[in-house]
Amino acid sequence: MRLTRREFCQSTAFVALATAAGLSALPSLTEQALAAEGAAISETELMAPGALPDMAIGDAKASVTVIEYASMTCPHCAHFQETTYPDIKKKYIDTGKIRYIFREFPLDNLAAAVFMLARCNADTNADKYFSFIDVMFRQQRTWAVEKPLDPLLTLSKQAGFTKESFDACLSNQKILDGIEAMRQRAVDKFKVNSTPTFFINGKLYSGAMTTDEMSKVIDPLIKS
């Protein structure tokens, strides 16, 4: 079922996630066939942007591309962002060895709301997008609560939002539709069924990988 702006904004500040229409009304990931790994996936199709422009950092000509599908309310995604991603960024992204693409895969309406704010904050600036989601992941316990609006607004103001721009962003049907389409495309086309999910040069890896685990995959693929 499609999540409309009115339904989204009436979901009691995004907390009635289990009963709200839209993203949370989609079949739960645990109910879908857990057969993603090893599934036939077109790498060409995987690399093509979806309904929204890809948020990517690193050398576009790098021999290795990592795509992460994540949800802002996912504790494992936050753990990866805090413990593994900084090492991967320093070791591979900042040195131009890999291209890193982050794609939205909200598991609930609250995650979709934070992704909307990230998109509004960044527009097409990937650095601003990555900075915003990094803060939100690190502050996940602050805003992923029963009443998230006030802490979300406080954190968003630190990124330059006003109350007016905050409200306008969360009422942007076009961005909401794009995020929902990104998620559904990942389910239908690429068999993503959990977060975080990574594709490294087209091969799927599920779960919050450690730096060592990711390095063991990336290192053999890097062209000297």
Write out pLDDT tens, residues 15-46: 433 333 343 333 344 333 333 444 557 888 99
Structural domain of 123: 29-221
Kindly write down the DSSP assignment for every residue of 72-97, as one continuous string. TT-HHHHHHHHHTHHHHIIIIITTTS
- Those residues whose C-beta lies under 8 Å from the C-beta of residue 7, and which sit 6 or more positions away, are 20, 21, 22
**15 inside domain:** no
Q: What is the pLDDT of residue 40?
A: 55
Per-residue tokens: 82: 């805090």
Q: What is the pLDDT of residue 62?
A: 97
Instruction: Tell me how many domains the chain contains.
Output: 1
CATH number for the domain including 85?
3.40.30.10
Per-residue tokens: 124: 């097409």
**1 inside domain:** no
**138 inside domain:** yes
Rounded to whole angstroms, the Cα distance separating 149 from 152 reads: 5
Query: Could you list the mean pLDDT of each consecutive 10-residue stretch along the chain, which spans 224 residues?
Result: 46 39 38 43 89 97 97 98 98 98 98 98 95 98 96 98 98 97 96 97 95 97 80
What angle do helix axes 149-158 and 126-138 make, rounded to 10 degrees?
A: 140
What is the pTM (predicted TM-score) of this model? 0.85
Rounded to whole angstroms, the Cα distance separating 198 from 208 reads: 9
**18 inside domain:** no
Chain-centre distance of CA 19, in angstroms?
Answer: 22
Write out pLDDT tens, residues 109-122: 999 999 999 999 99
**20 inside domain:** no
**3 inside domain:** no
